Structure 1
Amino acid sequence: MEADQKNILPDVQSTQDGRNIAIDRVGVRGVSLPIVIEGKNGPQHTVATLTMTVALPADQKGTHMSRFIALMDELREPINEAVMCKLIVDMLERLHAVSGTIEIRFPFFIRKTAPVSKLESLMNYEGRWIANVEEGVTTVRQETTVPVTSLCPCSKEISRYGAHNQRSHLVTSLVLASPMSLEEQVRISEISASCQLWSRLKRSDEKYVTEYAYDHPKFVEDLVRDMAKLLNEDERVVSYRVEAENFESIHNHSAYAYIENDKRAG
Structure 2
Amino acid sequence: MTSNDLMVLPDVQSSLDRRNIPIEKVGVKGIKTPILVKTVLGSQHTVADVEMYVSLPADKKGTHMSRFWTLLESINKPFCPTLLTDVMAQMLSSLKADGGYISLTFPFFMEKAAPVSELHSTMNYQVRLVAEAKNGHIKINQKVEAPVTSLCPCSKEISKYGAHNQRSLVSINAELETNFAIEKQIEMIESSASCPVWGLLKRSDEKYVTEHAYENPKFVEDLVRDVAILCQDEPAILSFTVEAENFESIHNHSAFASITFSKKAEE
Q: What is the TM-score when the length of structure 2 is the normalising length?
A: 0.96
1:160-171 residue pairs with structure 2 within 5 A?
160-171=160-171
CA distance in structure 2 between the partners assigned to 1:42 and 1:182 by the alignment: 12
Letter paired with 2:197: L
| Aligned: 1:45 with 2:40 | no
Deviation (angstroms), 1:18: 2.2
Aligned length: 266
Deviation (angstroms), 1:236: 2.4
Letter paired with 1:189: I
Which residue in 2 is equivalent to 1:241?
241
Deviation (angstroms), 1:38: 0.8
Deviation (angstroms), 1:204: 0.8
CA distance in structure 1 between the partners assigned to 2:195 and 2:38 by the alignment: 27
Q: Identify unmatched segments of 5+ residues in structure 2.
A: none
Letter paired with 2:258: Y
* Aligned partner of residue 21 in structure 1, secondary structure: coil
Deviation (angstroms), 1:162: 2.1
Which residue in 2 is equivalent to 1:115?
115
CA distance in structure 1 between the partners assigned to 2:160 and 2:87 by the alignment: 57
The answer on whether the counterparts of 2:82 and 2:179 sit within 8 Å (CA) in structure 1 is no
* Aligned partner of residue 93 in structure 1, secondary structure: helix
The CA deviation string for residues 123-162 of structure 1, in whole angstroms up to 9 with x for no partner, is 1111111111111111111111111111111222222332
* Aligned partner of residue 185 in structure 1, secondary structure: helix
% identical equivalent positions: 52
1:38-117 residue pairs with structure 2 within 5 A?
38-117=38-117
The CA deviation string for residues 199-242 of structure 1, in whole angstroms up to 9 with x for no partner, is 01001101110111111111111111000111112222221111
CA distance in structure 1 between the partners assigned to 2:30 and 2:165 by the alignment: 34
CA distance in structure 2 between the partners assigned to 1:174 and 1:263 by the alignment: 11
CA distance in structure 1 between the partners assigned to 2:119 and 2:16 by the alignment: 63
CA distance in structure 1 between the partners assigned to 2:74 and 2:202 by the alignment: 45
Deviation (angstroms), 1:254: 1.7
CA distance in structure 2 between the partners assigned to 1:166 and 1:6 by the alignment: 67
Q: Identify unmatched segments of 5+ residues in structure 1.
A: none
RMSD (CA atoms): 1.3
The CA deviation string for residues 149-186 of structure 1, in whole angstroms up to 9 with x for no partner, is 11111222222332221111111111233432111111
Which residue in 2 is equivalent to 1:29?
29
CA distance in structure 1 between the partners assigned to 2:23 and 2:235 by the alignment: 38
Letter paired with 2:189: S
CA distance in structure 2 between the partners assigned to 1:73 and 1:254 by the alignment: 41
CA distance in structure 2 between the partners assigned to 1:71 and 1:252 by the alignment: 46
The CA deviation string for residues 77-100 of structure 1, in whole angstroms up to 9 with x for no partner, is 111111001000001111111001
Deviates more, 1:41-50 or 1:167-176: 167-176
Letter paired with 2:250: I
CA distance in structure 2 between the partners assigned to 1:69 and 1:254 by the alignment: 40
Q: What is the TM-score when the length of structure 1 is the normalising length?
A: 0.96
The answer on whether the counterparts of 2:17 and 2:58 sit within 8 Å (CA) in structure 1 is yes
Which residue in 2 is equivalent to 1:154?
154
